[in-house]
Structure 1
């Protein structure tokens, strides 16, 4: 057997071994406390009132969260092989359970859902890709009634 054949066989063995471990739950064991008999549980990531389906994986390099004593805001990015329609249904049901109210939504190639609470807004953007679905969750605090919402516009008017 020549060297090229050995390398090819080694690559194939690694490929099949990695596929088998993913089918068993990713790490090859079922002793992870987050895994139930029906699969891993859904997760609350940085925001304790926004539940994310277990099949969507966080993309930390594309995400950011700002946290101060009075404000927690940011954007979380997820990817996964999830049907966008079932993802939309998941958020429609679970955001209501967590006290959010849907204020508007857009759908088809891209789905955008806007949810509100008394102190924050949440925008969920779902993009249907060719091989996977990407999702962005944007969380922003609401401006208080005494805070100007367009300071840039005011400054530009004053300098002109």
Structure 2
């Protein structure tokens, strides 16, 4: 009876460890990633509101906590995704795939609440990977994209370390000051 219990425990451990190693290996960009046409739709990594930020296939979009604002000059998004994926595997997934999409990594902090910062010309992206509990990992993506046809004020503000918003008001020649407001549309509805 004692030998049977030991063999059963060993079998469960071996199966559990092999399942964990397959899950971690599956996070890369090999088969099952966004370019594989042979997999099922739910087995494919995908792009959401930004066409150069790849999202891991097991993450689901949280429409209640997400907002994307787009105007002719810029696109800003705060997106939240949830899923049951190991934190460091997600960090490695984003490091690998953001580089493939042309992003330059400028900061990495790996911990229970990991943070990654990437940039491109006229773009910046911050990704937070947060272990909420054993059943959920939350991913928060903040992205700013200044469009090529955007105003010069926004581009120079972005290059000087700002977030792309011009703080200089436009004056109408009199004593009053006119602030130009961007057109806002909610893409999550």
- TM-score class, shorter: 0.5 to 0.7
Q: Structure 1 CA distance, aligned partners of 2:41 and 2:96?
A: 20
Query: Pairwise mapping of residues 1-160 of structure 1 onto structure 2 (< 5 A)?
Result: 36=39, 40-130=43-133, 131-141=135-145, 143-145=154-156, 149=162, 151=167
User: Offset of 1:107 from its aligned partner?
Assistant: 1.7
Q: Structure 2 CA distance, aligned partners of 1:88 and 1:146?
A: 29
Which one scores higher on RCO, CA 8 angstroms, separation ≥ 6? Answer: 2
User: Offset of 1:144 from its aligned partner?
Assistant: 2.6
Q: Deviations over 1:8-47 (max 9, x none)?
A: xxxxxxxxxxxxxxxxxxxxxxxxxx88159521010000
Q: Secondary structure at the match of 1:65?
A: strand
Displaced runs of 4 or more, over 2 A: 141-152
Q: Deviations over 1:58-100 (max 9, x none)?
A: 0011000011122111111000000011100100000000000
What is the TM-score with the length of structure 2 in the denominator?
A: 0.57
Q: Secondary structure at the match of 1:95?
A: helix
5+ residue gaps in structure 2?
A: 1-36, 147-153, 169-189
Q: Structure 2 CA distance, aligned partners of 1:146 and 1:137?
A: 21
CA contact (8 A) 1:71 1:141 kept: yes
Q: Secondary structure at the match of 1:86?
A: helix
CA contact (8 A) 2:76 2:145 kept: yes
Q: 1:62 to 1:146 in 2, by over 3 A?
A: closer
Q: Structure 1 CA distance, aligned partners of 2:58 and 2:118?
A: 22
5+ residue gaps in structure 1?
A: 1-33, 153-160
Q: Secondary structure at the match of 1:46?
A: coil
What is the TM-score with the length of structure 1 in the denominator?
A: 0.67
Q: Structure 1 CA distance, aligned partners of 2:132 and 2:38?
A: 28
